[in-house]
A and B are shown apart, each in its own frame.
Chain A
Amino acid sequence: MNGKDSLQHVKEIAQRVHQPYRLQGADAMAISENPLCGDEVLIELKIEGKTITDVGYSVNGCLLCKAASALLIELMKGGSCHEVQTTHDRLEAMLQGRAESCLKPFKIFEQISNHSARHGCVMLPFQATLTALKQQ
């Protein structure tokens, strides 16, 4: 969140999950909590074959957590289960300095790669989603 333009961009993305969106009859659901602050991300999935057809969510978190949730949810709709794991791995590698880039929308989090305490905020929605996918 270095600079006002960058912060404004993160805020705009975070705004997209301001209101919860819940699914009826989800095929998988999981909640992940951040032990540092008690932030909570709930993810619900509707899955047909290997494709995620719809995503329900409730995000109680900071700007980074909300922004990561919004981007992940948008990525998942119509995407594959495998894609979630791949994006998770590349994003984690970028944050930890093991890779130079990741999927483009998630590049905005590169600016916090040197704030290790905040990596958990970005990864929280991935944790919830991967936990939900393991139920399949």
Chain B
Amino acid sequence: MTFDVVSTRRGFPGLMQTARGGVALHYLDNAATTQMVQEAIDAYVHHEITSRANVQRGSHYLAERSTEAYESARSMVCQFLHASSPKEVIFTSGTTESINLLVSSFGSLLRVGDEIVVSEAEHHSNFLPWQRLCDATGVILKILPVTKEGRLDIDALPHYVSKRCRLIALTHCSNVTGHITDVLSVVKVADSVGAKVFLDGAQMVQHGPVDVQELGVDFYAFSGHKCFGPTGIGVLWGPEEQLQKLPPFQTGGGMVNYVDVDSVRFADYSRRFEAGTPPIAQAIALASALQWMMTLDWDAVLQHEQRLFKRAINGVNSIPGIHLLGEPNQEHRQSLISFANDSIHPHDICHVLDESGVALRGGHHCAQILLRKMGVTTSTRFSIALYNNDADIDALINGLERAVEMLS
């Protein structure tokens, strides 16, 4: 089975428009947000028209339809992650909230002197909440370094994990270099001391379904807007027995079984963590995006992405003055990478490429620790999704050559 990028692109109305000045749009900022697939857009609109009502509260027709659709969405996420039960799927507003939920809830069980391990490669979302927790509680934050190529130094991990380690919280895929974490090795080290493992899957999910059981991790988070779904929806996954041990994150309606003036019994499993009205239509649209993803031949998709990535890496790497962050090979990495030029600011590069319709990301990518470790404060990033094509890569390389010539 081969991957048909032409027909795939037709399923993304966001790609059918032109960019500023009427030039063709070449969207290469997929690590920030992917475009939304038509199936997800349709599901969102359909739900809001036909089934708009609050969930898990009313007993009328629309309330039942809404609740059924919402819980079906949970089941779809369960399938996508190859989890054991929909009860293990918590809907959040996004990866950031998922991590803050975990930090607040799991963190409340920790004691002074317990240890959390993160890495220098983390997005601020998987660094700042842990740093704040440790500052406030006396829990010790240990930071796994990266190699000079920007990969997690997994060989050094055992030196950072003691018997007081309670959790190792790492990115599944770097949002700066695209490097994929060697999860099996991480889990092995964690198991040796009985620590839990959390993975930030924000950059991983747009490249295919994930198998949390095969990975052997304890918690996993991702965002809908990075896998062809809407913004405002994300997931935290954890096994039933883990979730049942954790206290709630926020409190409010929908997450309790019984309340009195002097007592409360919280709901079980994922419902305990969903206080207030959840992002219902967003969850349903996310489920449609994931369902669409699960119809694809991912070997063929990844082959397509990696072919374009190779072209892009070779092209960008051949432009004088540009240096890639991380080594230019494609081993164990997704199709995104950042690059820098000693004398040209990424915002200026992005500005010039934007005039050619090429959408890139310039800045620190919410990963200032990693960038500084790699000797820069800012960089430019391109990130390739399944709907990108050769014209996008041509526009990237030609635009970048022009930008360097103009700005040098």
Q: How far is it, in angstroms, between the C-alpha of A2 and the C-alpha of B355 when the chains are bound?
A: 8
**In the complex, what residue of chain A is closest to B371 when comparing beta carbons?**
A38
Query: Is A77 an interface residue when CB atoms closer than 8 A count as contact?
Result: no
**In the complex, what residue of chain A is closest to B362 when comparing beta carbons?**
A37
Annotate A32-48 by CB proximity to B: 1 below 8 A, 0 otherwise.
00001111000000000
Query: In the assembled complex, which residues on chain A have CB atoms less than 8 Å from the CB atom of B407?
Result: 7, 11, 63
Chain A, range 1-37, C-beta contacts under 8 Å to B: 1-2, 4, 7, 11, 36-37
A residues lining the B interface (CB < 8 Å): 1-2, 4, 7, 11, 36-39, 60-64, 112, 114-115, 118, 121
Query: In the assembled complex, which residues on chain A have CB atoms less than 8 Å from the CB atom of B351?
Result: 1, 112, 115, 118
- How far does the Cβ of B20 sit from chain A's closest Cβ, in whole Å? 7
Which of A61, A62, A64, A114 has the most C-beta atoms of chain B within 10 angstroms of its own C-beta? A62
- In this complex, the interface size class of chain B, counting residues with CB under 8 Å from chain A, is 10 to 19
Query: In the assembled complex, which residues on chain B have CB atoms less than 8 Å from the CB atom of A1?
Result: 348, 351-352
- Main secondary structure on chain B at its contact with chain A? helix
B residues lining the A interface (CB < 8 Å): 20, 345-348, 351-352, 354-355, 362-364, 368, 377-378, 406-407
Query: In the assembled complex, which residues on chain B have CB atoms less than 8 Å from the CB atom of A61?
Result: 345
In-complex Cβ contact of A37 among B20, B354, B355, B363 (8 A): B363
Query: In the assembled complex, which residues on chain A have CB atoms less than 8 Å from the CB atom of B355?
Result: 2
**In the complex, what residue of chain B is closest to A63 when comparing beta carbons?**
B348
A121 adjacent to B347 (CB under 8 Å) = yes
Query: In the assembled complex, which residues on chain B have CB atoms less than 8 Å from the CB atom of A39?
Result: 345, 347, 378
In-complex Cβ contact of B378 among A11, A38, A63, A64 (8 A): A38
**In the complex, what residue of chain A is closest to B368 when comparing beta carbons?**
A38
Q: How far is it, in angstroms, between the C-alpha of A4 and the C-alpha of B345 when the chains are bound?
A: 17
Query: In the assembled complex, which residues on chain A have CB atoms less than 8 Å from the CB atom of B347?
Result: 36-37, 39, 62, 64, 118, 121
- How far does the Cβ of A11 sit from chain B's closest Cβ, in whole Å? 8
What total count of A-B pairs have CB within 8 Å? Answer: 43
- How far does the Cβ of A100 sit from chain B's closest Cβ, in whole Å? 21
A38 adjacent to B377 (CB under 8 Å) = yes
Query: In the assembled complex, which residues on chain B have CB atoms less than 8 Å from the CB atom of A115?
Result: 351, 354
**In the complex, what residue of chain A is closest to B378 when comparing beta carbons?**
A37
Q: How far is it, in angstroms, between the C-alpha of A64 and the C-alpha of B406 when the chains are bound?
A: 15
- How far does the Cβ of B171 sit from chain A's closest Cβ, in whole Å? 20
Q: How far is it, in angstroms, between the C-alpha of A60 and the C-alpha of B351 when the chains are bound?
A: 18
- How far does the Cβ of A71 sit from chain B's closest Cβ, in whole Å? 17
**In the complex, what residue of chain A is closest to B406 when comparing beta carbons?**
A7
Query: In the assembled complex, which residues on chain A have CB atoms less than 8 Å from the CB atom of B363?
Result: 36-38
- How far does the Cβ of A8 sit from chain B's closest Cβ, in whole Å? 9
Query: In the assembled complex, which residues on chain A have CB atoms less than 8 Å from the CB atom of B368?
Result: 38
Query: In the assembled complex, which residues on chain B have CB atoms less than 8 Å from the CB atom of A2?
Result: 355
